[in-house]
Amino acid sequence: MDKPEHATEDPRYHTRNIKARLTEAIDHLRKDIEKVVDPKAQALFETTAEVLKGLVTSNEHYEAKRPAWR
């Protein structure tokens, strides 16, 4: 059985929190792309969102114990 969500020694507790915060930042960046007219700022926000998405994926791979994290 999984440990309770408040068990801070469980790395999955932390990866879930990190993923949630990264996803919030991704959503915020993508909304801001629509709010600004500067193409360089739009590109920066999109690039940042994509990098953060890669970090979300890395956390998911860790949680799934993919070969790179064994």
pTM of the model: 0.82
**E-strand stretches of the chain:** none
- Taking only the tens of pLDDT, the chain with its 70 residues reads 455 556 688 899 999 999 999 999 999 999 999 999 999 999 999 999 999 999 999 999 999 988 776 6
The helix-helix angle for 39-63 and 11-35 (nearest 10°) equals 160
Q: What angle do CA 42, 55, 57 make, to 5 degrees?
A: 110
Output the pLDDT for position 54.
96
DSSP-assigned letter for residue 10: S
